[in-house]
Structure 1
């Protein structure tokens, strides 16, 4: 009986290879040949699953995004079943700052895909949807944390919570880039982020 092939697993194998190529050499180094060599497979296998470079980059970007989702979920899981909104906010955002070597590699990949999205409308739409969802989640936590320590939310405070969420996410992205490209110490980046979270919730 022939062995059953797990096609999703093979796509993920290739997506991981794409991400390693991007992390080590940049997006411009991604090709059928480089990905095949990195994954230890034939070029024919790569082309079978991804007939174009665009299709390969699209899947790899989604795979990288899912990995960030797993990192955030892992950070949340350390807080128990019903974490306080303020603690959840801090845990998720600090999890996005690159600390380990693997997280720094992931950060270089994320930065490359953000640059790619600035020129590719499909990638931009995918990232926009993900960021919209992230901002909504952060805004919910901000609103809940404020409600726990003050009067009920008003329409004005609702709008402010969304603006604060967008600012915190942008700050986190910027700090991560500074850690990766400008030598900002990650402990300092976390301190800056915590300071701004406290200001938002005050």
Structure 2
């Protein structure tokens, strides 16, 4: 009887290996050979599941997005019913920031993908759609006439804080204090928490 193969599990194994290589050595180190070695499989198996490096990268980015979505969903569920818009945004953004070792690896991979898509715009299609949806959601929570611009600014603050956290310029406490200060500007005062 032929062995039953879980193709999704193999793709995930390979994507996890890609993320470890990218987090440890940067995207420039990502190759079929390096990813195969990290996953403990043959380069041929990697090529069977991902014909190109771009396909491999897109799948790994989807994995990072999925992990981020799970973190956000779990954090928001802990808020209970009817949290204030300010608390909702703070909780969501804090869940997306690389504030600890667990989220730092995903943050490094996400940052590397952003750099990758800067020179390969076609690879950024999913990111553009995600960003537009996130900006729209945030704008809907902001009590401002310039909600779209303010949402774009809040996303830029979030990305900047992420870069500073990954580079070690900010501690988690400093990043959260900066986020709170920006939310104070948008909402007027911290009394809405």
Determine if the TM-score, normalized by the shorter chain, exceeds 0.5: yes
Which residues in structure 2 correspond to 1:142-157 (within 5 Å)? 142=142, 146=143, 157=145
Which residues in structure 2 correspond to 1:97-176 (within 5 Å)? 97-142=97-142, 146=143, 157=145, 160-176=146-162
Counterpart in 2 of 1:58?
A: 58
Instruction: Report deviation, 1:183.
Output: 2.3
Whether the 8 Å CA contact 2:54–2:123 is kept in 1: the answer is no
Counterpart in 2 of 1:31?
A: 31
- Looking at structure 2, the residues matched to 40 and 102 of structure 1 have their Cα atoms a distance apart, in angstroms, of 22
Deviation digits for residues 120-171 of structure 1, max 9, x if unmatched? 12222221111111111111122xxx3xxxxxx7xxx1xx111111101110
- Looking at structure 2, the residues matched to 73 and 194 of structure 1 have their Cα atoms a distance apart, in angstroms, of 20
Counterpart in 2 of 1:74?
A: 74
- Looking at structure 1, the residues matched to 97 and 69 of structure 2 have their Cα atoms a distance apart, in angstroms, of 13
Counterpart in 1 of 2:8?
A: 8
Unpaired segments ≥5 residues, structure 1: 147-152
Whether the 8 Å CA contact 2:93–2:158 is kept in 1: the answer is yes
TM-score by length of 1: 0.87
Whether the 8 Å CA contact 2:97–2:161 is kept in 1: the answer is yes
Instruction: Report deviation, 1:74.
Output: 1.6
Unpaired segments ≥5 residues, structure 2: 189-193
Deviation digits for residues 5-58 of structure 1, max 9, x if unmatched? 221221111111100000000101111111111111122211110111121112
- Looking at structure 1, the residues matched to 34 and 82 of structure 2 have their Cα atoms a distance apart, in angstroms, of 45
- Looking at structure 1, the residues matched to 171 and 21 of structure 2 have their Cα atoms a distance apart, in angstroms, of 25
Number of aligned pairs? 188
TM-score by length of 2: 0.91
Instruction: Report deviation, 1:173.
Output: 0.5
